[in-house]
Amino acid sequence: MTNPREQWASSTGFILATIGSAVGIGNIWRFSYVAGENGGGAFLIIYLACVLIVGMPIVMAEMAMGRRGGGDAIAAFSANGRTPRWAHAGWVSVIGCFLILGFYSVIAGWALKYFIGALTGDLWRVASDGYGGFFGDFIANGAEPVAWQFAAIAATMLVVMGGVRRGIEAANRILMPLLALVVIVLAVYASTLSGSAAGWKFLFVPDWAAFGEPQVYIAAVGQAFFSLGIGMAVFITYASYMTPDIKIPAPRPRSSPGIPFSRLSPGSPFFRPCSRSAATRRPARNSPSSRCRRFF
C-alpha cells in the first residue's frame, strides 16, 4: 500500500510558496535595470499588462495541468496530452530547471556569503578598494565560492527533505514575511538618499515616447515570463499538491498581485542610487542601465 500524496496545509501556504518560487535572487535586481533601460514608468505599465493578459492565464493553465496530472511535470504532460509523446515537454521543463540551478546555486552561495559576512562584520571591514575588492578577493579563491555554493544547496536540501508542509510551506511562512520586511526597510532607507524623488518619478511617471518603441514591449513580455517563472514546471509541480478544497481561480486574485508587487517593491529601492542618471537622460536603452548594472 502506497502512502497518500502530501498536500498543502492551507491556501495561504500555497500562495506564499508560489510567490516565493517566483521571487528570485536575479529578478530582484533584473527588474530594476530592465525597467531603467526601457522607459521606466512606460515599461512598468506594459509589464503589468503583460502579466495580467499573457502571464497569468499561462500560470493558471500550468496549475490546472498540475492538479489534473497529480504528479511532476512529466506525469502532468503525460496525463493531459493526447499522446504519450507530450511527456517530452515535461522533460524539457525539468532539464530547464536543472540548467537554471547551475548558475542559481552559485548566486545563492554568493548571497549566503554576504549574509554571513554582514552578521560577522567582515563585510563592513572591507579593503581600501571597497566592496568590489571584497567580491574580487572572494571569487579569486576558487575553493571558497564552491564551498558556499554547496552550503546553499545543502540548506535547500534540508528544506526539501522536510516535505511540502513541514519543509517548503513552513519555510515560506517565515522567509517570505522576512523578505517583505527587508524590502520595506530598504525602500524607506533609499527614499532618504539624494535624488530619491527623481527615482520615484522615473519609475512611476511614464515617458510616453517609449510606448512607440518595440523593444520596450519585447522587454516587458520577457520580464513578465521571467518574473512568473513560466515554463519551468514550478506551478505544475506545486499545483499537484493542492487539496480538493482549493480552487485554482480562488487563490489567484489574492496571489496574482503579489508576484508583480514582489518585483516592483524590491526593484524600487534600487532606483534611488541610479535616479540622477535615469532622470536626466532618455530612459530607453541609454546610459542609466549601464550605471545601474555597475551599481548592482
pLDDT of 66 strictly over 60: yes
pLDDT of 252 strictly over 60: no
Spatial distance between the Cα atoms of 154 and 220, rounded to a whole number of angstroms = 34
**Which residues in 193-209 are b (16+ Cβ under 10 Å) and which e?**
eebbebbbebbeebbee
Tens-digit pLDDT profile for residues 14-24: 888 888 877 77
Tens-digit pLDDT profile for residues 255-269: 444 555 555 554 555
Check residue 148 and give its pLDDT.
93
**pTM of this prediction?**
0.73
Taking the chain, what is the end-to-end CA distance rounded to the nearest angstrom?
Answer: 53
pLDDT of 76 strictly over 60: yes
Rg (CA), the chain: 21
pLDDT of 203 strictly over 80: no
What percentage of the chain exceeds 70 in pLDDT? 80
What percentage of the chain exceeds 90 in pLDDT? 5
Q: Would you call 211 exposed, middle or buried from its count of C-beta atoms within 10 A (0-12, 13-18, 19+)? A: middle
Spatial distance between the Cα atoms of 289 and 291, rounded to a whole number of angstroms = 5
Q: How far is CA 52 from CA 47, 109, 227, 258, 269, in A?
A: 9, 33, 12, 12, 24
Is the C-alpha dihedral spanning 77, 78, 83, 86 positive or negative? positive
Q: How far is CA 48 from CA 43, 181, 257, in A?
A: 9, 23, 9
For residues 43 and 220, is the Cβ–Cβ distance under 8 A?
yes
pLDDT of 156 strictly over 70: yes
Check residue 157 and give its pLDDT.
92
Tens-digit pLDDT profile for residues 103-150: 888 888 998 998 888 888 877 777 556 777 778 888 888 889 999 999
DSSP state of 36: H
Q: How far is CA 148 from CA 115, 145, 191, 205, 279, in A?
A: 11, 5, 33, 41, 38
- Cell 511562512 belongs to residue: 173
**SS3 (DSSP) at 156:** helix
**Set of cell numbers at residue 31:** 527588474
Ordered DSSP codes for 4-16:
PPP--S-HHHHHH
